[in-house]
């Protein structure tokens, strides 16, 4: 692990002093945890943090609003904008990325798009700033009331590292406090949902699904949750092409669901406040929906094997 620490020493040396660097360990998925470290808000071992999150979600079912929302490169880009590439990139890739940042700064064409599988709409350049403010407010709510599953992992192959120090600075600037329980590793969420732990969350529960799927894809998602012994499925549709502006009709579902699962791309940062009145856990499971629809996709992202 020392080689990874050395690769990202600039991040590790400049991150908030309250944070820790841990080896990523996820129960039942240990074979995928080789050569991965993660920045952690708690000094508790990562595998124990994982179990603690499962217990916290379980204890909140049907009782308390607990947003558990993932943020990775797409969400970081909405929250922070383009960031210059760091020294962890090979020089030829770094140069290419710098050129890309410069081009996007001066060419106002494409701006920002949501995840294609859960909302394919794009924001115009003129819309980004107001959406960024709303997204930061969403993060503030999530970290006050629940858990941000932030992609703070570091591996030999760089991915989202350019965003990490600006992300910590943005939290500080907006007076968003980091505690030992309001940030967990991004990759906790897929295993919690796709492994046997999911049975603890769904069995004999009324499960709300917030998603844009229709037709056969919608049916496959519903059947996958039913297969986990859910007692009832409530489907709350969101738009596929206008997700950032969706107004969710949640008032009619008060008291009817025990837990909610959402797949809304980066727009979930803007939607989460509307869901607070449900007083239930709201878990952003994203790509797990795609794996339920097509299990062959489990190789496209880490920790997505159904167990």
- Residue 231, phi then psi, degrees to nearest 5: -80, -25
Instruction: Report pLDDT digits (tens) over 119-141.
Output: 556 777 788 899 999 999 999 99
E strand or H helix that includes residue 2: helix 2-7
Distance, in Å, from the CA atom of 259 to the CA atom of 237, rounded to the nearest integer, reads: 16
Are the beta carbons of 50 and 169 closer than 8 angstroms?
no
pTM given for the model: 0.95
Give the chain's domain count.
1
**3-class SS shares of the chain: helix, strand, coil, % to 5:** 50, 15, 35
Structure tokens at 57: 């979600």
pLDDT of residue 293: 95
**How many CB atoms are closer than 10 A to CB 116?**
10
The pLDDT-based confidence of 116 (bands split at 50, 70, 90) is: low
What's the average model confidence in pLDDT over 55-69? Answer: 98
pLDDT of residue 110: 52
% of residues, the chain, pLDDT over 70: 95
Indicate if the pLDDT at residue 153 is higher than 90.
yes
Instruction: Report pLDDT digits (tens) over 157-169.
Output: 999 999 999 999 9
pLDDT of residue 117: 56
Give the chain's largest Cα–Cα span: 55
Q: Structural domain of residue 162, as residue ranges?
A: 1-307
Instruction: Report pLDDT digits (tens) over 225-238.
Output: 999 999 999 999 99
**How buried is residue 201: exposed, middle or buried, by Cβ count under 10 Å (0-12/13-18/19+)?**
buried
User: Cβ neighbours of residue 273 under 8 Å, at least 6 residues apart?
Assistant: 137, 138, 141
Which residue would you say has higher pLDDT here, 104 or 118?
A: 104
Structure tokens at 163: 């965003």
Indicate if the pLDDT at residue 109 is higher than 60.
no
What's the average model confidence in pLDDT over 170-197? Answer: 97
**How buried is residue 103: exposed, middle or buried, by Cβ count under 10 Å (0-12/13-18/19+)?**
exposed
Indicate if the pLDDT at residue 177 is higher than 90.
yes
Distance, in Å, from the CA atom of 131 to the CA atom of 10, rounded to the nearest integer, reads: 30
Could you give the angle at which helices 73-80 and 125-145 cross, rounded to 10 degrees?
110
Range 246-253, long-range pairs (CB < 8 A, 24+ positions): 246/271, 247/274, 248/210, 248/274, 248/275, 250/274, 250/275, 250/277, 250/278, 251/277, 253/208, 253/278
Q: Tell which phi-psi region holds residue 114, choosing left (phi > 0), alpha (psi between -120 and 50) or beta.
A: beta
Indicate if the pLDDT at residue 307 is higher than 60.
yes
pLDDT of residue 120: 58
pLDDT of residue 49: 97
The pLDDT-based confidence of 115 (bands split at 50, 70, 90) is: low
């Amino acid at each position: 692990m020392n080689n990874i620490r050395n690769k990202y020493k600039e991040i590790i040396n400049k991150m908030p002093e309250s944070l820790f660097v841990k080896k990523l360990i996820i129960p039942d998925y240990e074979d995928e945890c080789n050569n991965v470290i993660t920045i952690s808000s708690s000094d508790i071992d990562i595998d124990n943090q994982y179990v603690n999150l499962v217990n916290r979600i379980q204890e909140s079912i049907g009782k308390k609003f607990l947003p558990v929302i993932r943020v990775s490169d797409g969400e970081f880009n909405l929250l922070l904008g383009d960031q210059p590439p760091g020294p962890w990139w090979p020089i030829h890739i770094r140069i290419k990325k710098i050129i890309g940042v410069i081009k996007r700064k001066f060419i106002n064409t494409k701006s920002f798009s949501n995840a294609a599988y859960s909302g394919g709409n794009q924001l115009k350049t003129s819309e980004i700033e107001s959406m960024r403010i709303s997204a930061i407010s969403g993060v503030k709510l999530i970290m006050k009331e629940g858990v941000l599953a932030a992609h703070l992992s570091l591996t030999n192959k760089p991915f989202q590292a350019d965003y990490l120090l600006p992300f910590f600075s943005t939290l500080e600037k907006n007076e968003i406090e980091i505690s030992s329980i309001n940030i967990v590793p991004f990759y906790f969420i897929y295993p919690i949902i796709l492994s046997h732990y999911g049975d603890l969350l769904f069995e004999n529960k009324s499960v709300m699904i917030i998603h844009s799927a229709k037709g056969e894809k919608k049916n496959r998602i519903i059947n996958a949750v039913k297969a986990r012994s859910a007692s009832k499925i409530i489907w709350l549709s969101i738009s596929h092409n206008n997700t950032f502006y969706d107004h969710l009709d949640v008032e009619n579902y008060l008291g009817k669901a025990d837990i909610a699962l959402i797949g809304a791309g980066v727009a979930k940062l803007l939607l989460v406040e509307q869901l607070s009145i449900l007083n239930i856990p709201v878990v952003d499971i994203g790509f797990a929906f795609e794996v339920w629809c097509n299990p062959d996709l489990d190789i496209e992202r880490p920790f997505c094997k159904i167990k």
